[in-house]
A and B are shown apart, each in its own frame.
Chain A
Amino acid sequence: MKLDILKTNGKKAGTKIEAQDSVFAVTPNEHVVYLSVKAELAALRAGTHKTKTRAEVSGGGKKPYKQKGRGGARAGSTRSPIWVGGGHAFALEPRDYSIKLPRKVRQLARRSVLSDKINQNAIIVLDELKVGAPKTKEFLSLLGNLGLTGKKLLILTSYFNEDLYLAGRNIKNIAIIEASSASAYDLIDNEVILTDVASIEILNNMLSN
């Protein structure tokens, strides 16, 4: 599949870039994308929660009162879960929430999202992603040229471009990510993906089989 290349002023450059069909034209598999996004969000959970069971709450070693003759319920510990000040019945333990997905499933998820974005005409390829100076104003004028002002954007770069990062970091709803490290979640969480020729090549190489 051929994609049109735009110049930074928003005009067509006249040339095209080959986007591999095995990456950008697969039948999207929604279930796999769901699994991949779920796995990424799950991996973000810190899992640093902890409460104490009746065994861990301090005190409670002695039988509070004798077994019979007082008219009250039998009691063996002041830290029983049904007592005020007692432990938790099902106490939280710190744990890892991450889910392991096979590498091929994660790849298919990224291909599915990219192909879906192509179907929605939501991938814009520039000849080169750059700003003249590390100024937010420069970045906004680039977006204005392309008619993308105010949209939720994913900027896929081929390398870490510090000027671009500095110029874009104060704009709302913009994520600047290197193409080699973009996950299915990064790719789907936007209205439009703005990228350049070099990044498309990286995706071609990384995701084609």
Chain B
Amino acid sequence: MKLGNLRPAEGSVKKRKRIGRGNASGWGRNAGRGEKGYGSRTGSTTAGLFEGGQMPLHRRLPKRGFHNNFKKVYEIVNIRDLDRVTEEIINNESLVKAGLIKKLDSNVKILGDGDLTKAFVVAVKAISASAKEKIIAAGGKVSE
């Protein structure tokens, strides 16, 4: 072992891959980028629904129907599930805590499928007539 003939161990040094230095190198032509021109640049994109210039599906088919911006959407809770709530009061906080609705700011409507045993004070956005009956029959209250 001399200073002049120190060598790295066999296989520890990789030869550098020289890209774009002629076709015989194996990395000529597209230089490993898949295509030439715009597609080989960074940040190149195509529109998501582009079909190669063919009229895309979403333009080939006619328009149909309409979208109601004023539609009210409710999250539904049936009273058979209400026994899972641990608090006395049924409102958005206690329903989220029990996992019966997803969001605190949802519109909630209680429906009357099934039965309930506990007495609750119910304070939500909407409630069906049959649900109201069953809640009061179980000794609960409905606050508007």
Contacts and interface: CB of A to CB of B under 8 A. Distances in A.
Interface string B1-22: 1110011110010000000000
Contacts of B6: 30, 33-34, 37, 188
A116 B9 contact: no
B3 A34 contact: no
B8 A188 contact: no
Contacts of B8: 31, 34-35
Contacts of B9: 30-31, 34
B3 A189 contact: yes
B3 A116 contact: no
Contacts of B7: 30, 34
A31 B3 contact: no
A142 to B, nearest CB: 25
Contacts of A185: 3
A116 B12 contact: no
A179 interface: no
| A interface bracket (residues with beta carbon within 8 Å of B) | 10 to 19
A168 interface: no
B3 A37 contact: yes
Interface residues of B, number: 8
A33 B1 contact: yes
A113 interface: yes
Most buried by A among B2, B6, B7, B12: B6
A28 interface: yes
A31 B12 contact: yes
Given A30-B7, A33-B6, A37-B6, A113 B12 contact: no
A112 B9 CA distance: 15
Contacts of B1: 28, 30, 33, 112-113, 116, 188
Interface in A96-137: 112-113, 116
B7 to A, nearest CB: 6
Contacts of A112: 1
A190 to B, nearest CB: 9
Contacts of A33: 1, 6
B8 to A, nearest CB: 5
A190 B118 CA distance: 93
B3 to A, nearest CB: 5
Interface string A159-189: 0000000000000000000000000010011
Contacts of A34: 6-9
Interface string A27-64: 01011011101000000000000000000000000000
Interface in B40-93: none
Contacts of A113: 1
A173 to B, nearest CB: 13
B12 A188 contact: no
22 contacts: A28-B1, A30-B6, A30-B7, A30-B9, A31-B8, A31-B12, A33-B1, A33-B6, A34-B6, A34-B7, A34-B8, A35-B8, A37-B3, A37-B6, A112-B1, A116-B1, A185-B3, A188-B1, A188-B2, A188-B3, A188-B6, A189-B3
Those 8 A-B pairs whose CB atoms lie nearest each other, nearest first? A31-B9, A34-B6, A116-B1, A188-B3, A189-B3, A34-B8, A30-B1, A31-B8
